[in-house]
Amino acid sequence: MTANTMTLTTPATHDCACDIPGFCRSYFYTGKLLTEGDLTREQRYALDKLRLHHMALHGWGVVYGLMVRPHPECLDRFIVTAGLAIDDCGREVRLTQDCVVMFPKPEKPEPDFCPPEPCDDEEEEQQHSKPKRESYYVCIRYEECKEDFMPVVFDDCCGSQKMPNRVCECAAVEVSVEEPVCLKHVHERRRCGCEEHCHDIWEHIPEHAPPSGTACCIPLAVIREYEYCDSLREEMIDNRIRPMLPSVERLERVVHCLLDQVPKSHTRLTHITRLNWEHDGEYSHGDFMREFVGGHEHPRGFEIEFDRRVHNRGLNNRSFQAMVIREPGDGHEPRRMEIAPARVLRSEDGRRCALHIDPEYVRQHLHEHTFDIVITLRCDKVVDEHGMAVDGNLLAGTRDGEDGDYVLKLPTGDGVPGGLFESWIRVRRN
Residue 185's pLDDT is: 81
Does 266 reside within a domain? no
Residue 190's pLDDT is: 74
Is residue 126 classed as helix, strand or coil in its secondary structure? helix
Indicate the pairing of strand 83-86 with strand 92-95: antiparallel
pLDDT at 212 over 60: yes
Residue 15's pLDDT is: 47
What is the pLDDT averaged over residues 31-53? 91
Q: How many domains does the chain have?
A: 2
- Return mean pLDDT, the chain: 84
Contacts of the segment 189-197: beta carbons below 8 A, 24+ positions apart: 189/243
The string of pLDDT tens digits covering residues 379-402 is: 999 999 888 999 999 999 887 666
What is the pLDDT averaged over residues 300-308? 95
Pick the residue with more confidence: 18 or 274?
Answer: 274
> Is the same domain home to 86 and 220?
yes
What is the pLDDT averaged over residues 312-324? 94
Asked if 427 contacts 288 with a C-beta cutoff of 8 angstroms, the reply is yes
Residue 368's pLDDT is: 82
Residue 115's pLDDT is: 55
> Is the same domain home to 211 and 97?
yes
> Is the same domain home to 90 and 130?
yes
Residue 3's pLDDT is: 43
| Residue finishing a domain among 242, 261, 280 | 261
Round to whole Å and give the CA distance between 120 and 128: 11
Sign, CA dihedral 277-279-285-286, equals negative
Q: What share of the chain in percent tops pLDDT 70?
A: 84
Say which range, 7-11, 27-31, 177-181, 317-321, has the weakest mean pLDDT.
7-11
> Is the same domain home to 257 and 277?
no
Pick the residue with more confidence: 316 or 123?
Answer: 316
- DSSP letters along 57-71, please? HT-SEEEEE--EEE-
Pick the residue with more confidence: 17 or 315?
Answer: 315
Does 345 reside within a domain? yes
> Is the same domain home to 330 and 304?
yes
> Is the same domain home to 175 and 219?
yes
What is the pLDDT averaged over residues 249-270? 78
Residue 124's pLDDT is: 52
> Is the same domain home to 305 and 375?
yes
- DSSP letters along 274-314, please? EESS-TTEEEEHHHHIIIIIB-SSSB--EEEEESS-B-GGG
A 10 A CB-CB count for 88 gives 24
Indicate the pairing of strand 406-408 with strand 396-398: antiparallel
Pick the residue with more confidence: 161 or 154?
Answer: 161
What is the pLDDT averaged over residues 213-231? 88
Residue 112's pLDDT is: 53
Round to whole Å and give the CA distance between 92 and 60: 10
Q: Domain containing 70: what range?
A: 5-261
Amino acid at 226: Y
CA distances from 190 to 136, 139, 350 (A): 22, 18, 48
> Is the same domain home to 370 and 305?
yes
Give the residue ranges of DSSP H helices in 162-217. 182-191, 198-203
Round to whole Å and give the CA distance between 144 and 422: 67
Does 267 reside within a domain? no
Contacts of the segment 312-316: beta carbons below 8 A, 24+ positions apart: 312/346, 312/350, 314/381, 314/382, 314/383, 315/344, 315/346, 315/353, 315/382, 316/344
Residue 117's pLDDT is: 55
Q: Give the strands of the sheet with 371-378, arranged side by side.
A: 281-284, 420-428, 371-378, 320-326, 336-339
- φ/ψ of 371, rounded to 5, equals -150, 160
> Is the same domain home to 252 and 288?
no
Class of residue 104 by CB neighbours under 10 A (exposed 0-12, middle 13-18, buried 19+): middle
